[in-house]
Amino acid sequence: MSALTISFALLFYGATALLIGGLAYRILLYARTPAPLRIPTTPAPLGTPGVAWRMTREVVFFESLFKSNKWTWVFGWMFHLALLLVLLRHLRYFTEPVWAVVVLLQPLGLYAAFAMLAGLGGLWVRRFAVARVRYVSSPSDHLMLALLVLIAATGLAMKYVVHTDIVAVKAFMLGLVYVDWQPLPADPLLLAHLALVALLMAVFPVSKLLHAPGVFFSPTRNQVDDARERRHVAAWAAALEK
């Protein structure tokens, strides 16, 4: 077993632990923090099914962003949808036999990589071209885009420019899953791609990527408009009633 294989195996275990542990911690923190007052942005649904539908529209179609700014919506939605397809396509490297749905999505996943780059490009251009967005952009906003662009670019380069031994890569990944380590090909593009992905996984729970779990805990979106019908006294607020 080469030092390279061992380092990348450990890197991925570490990154996965940070991603899952970090997100679980954050989600637990959000879930445990009380929401002492009803603050849905109205008009809001009057029941749970309505809220589920509101959240679905928000998470699947980015409804509020659509209302706000069509350019940001086009690029943002294109990027996220493409990322989803690309991730689903990548499941082929972690499953044997490959799931039928992943096989079906395979051709779409290839186009999606380009759509992903186009979406990221559009979002990045906005950070420079729109003075208001430029004003609020911090270095990490640019770096996050750079990271995602590099991940997509290295992936595409492996597909279309310098091929890697994809069968060996799959063996390595399955080896990680089943803790039966297999050698990782030492192609620079592959190593760069994997290292960048590991970095993305590691920073996820400590960065603005927290918008992903955050949206599900947003009281203005996930609360039912039932303030007149139900009391919502938080534990710390109940202490005031004594």
Partner 1 sequence: MAATTFEVPPLREYPVIPILQEDAMAKSRPYVASAPIQHALGFPGELVDGWHDKAIARMGELTAKYRSLKVYLDACVHCGACSDKCHYFLGTGDPKNMPVARQDLMRKVYRRHFTFAGKYFPALVGAEDLTREVLDDWYVYFNQCSECRRCSVFCPYGIDTAEITMAAREIMDSIGMGQKYSNEIIGKVHRIGNNLGLPGPALEDTLAGLEEDVKDDTGADVRFPLDDKGAEVLLVTPSADFFAEPHVDSLIGYAKVFHAAGIRWTMSSHASEAGNFGMFIGNYEQMRAIAMRVREAALELGAKRIVVGECGHAWRVAYSFWNTLIGPFDFLDSRYPVPQHICEVTHDLIQRGALAFDREANDHRVITFHDSCNVARASRMGRIPGGQFTIPRAIIRAVANHFHDMAPETIREQTFCCGGGGGLLTDELIDLRVKGALPRVEALKAVVDEHGVNFMATICAICKAQFSKVLPYYGFDMSMVGGVHQLVSTAIRLSPHG
Residues contributing to the site for partner 1 (CB under 8 A): 26, 29-30, 33-39, 41-46, 58, 62, 64-65, 67-69, 72, 76, 123, 126, 130-133, 135-141, 143, 203, 206-208, 210-211, 214-215, 217-221, 225, 227-234, 236-237, 240
Instruction: Using the minimum distance from each CB to partner 1, give the nearer residue, 5 or 218.
Output: 218
Name which of 158, 179, 148, 77 is nearest 119 in CA terms: 77
* Measured distance CA(103)–CA(88) in Å, rounded: 10
Residue 5 corresponds to which amino acid?
A: T
Instruction: Using the minimum distance from each CB to partner 1, give the nearer residue, 42 or 180.
Output: 42
Location of structure tokens 């445990």: 32
Instruction: Using the minimum distance from each CB to partner 1, give the nearer residue, 70 or 159.
Output: 70
Contact 217, 32 (CB under 8 A): no
Distances (CA, A) of 164 to 16, 183, 184, 198: 23, 13, 10, 19
Q: How far is the CB of 149 from partner 1 (least distance, A)?
A: 16
Question: Which pair of structure tokens corresponds to residue 108?
Answer: 């779409």
Q: How far is the CB of 185 from partner 1 (least distance, A)?
A: 33
Instruction: Using the minimum distance from each CB to partner 1, give the nearer residue, 93 or 216.
Output: 216
Q: How far is the CB of 136 from partner 1 (least distance, A)?
A: 5
Instruction: Using the minimum distance from each CB to partner 1, give the nearer residue, 173 or 200.
Output: 200
Q: How far is the CB of 84 from partner 1 (least distance, A)?
A: 16
For 217-227, b/e burial (b = at least 16 CB within 10 A) is bbeebbbbbbe
Contact 79, 120 (CB under 8 A): yes
Q: How far is the CB of 197 from partner 1 (least distance, A)?
A: 19
Q: How far is the CB of 141 from partner 1 (least distance, A)?
A: 5
Instruction: Using the minimum distance from each CB to partner 1, give the nearer residue, 55 or 191.
Output: 55
Location of structure tokens 């849905």: 40
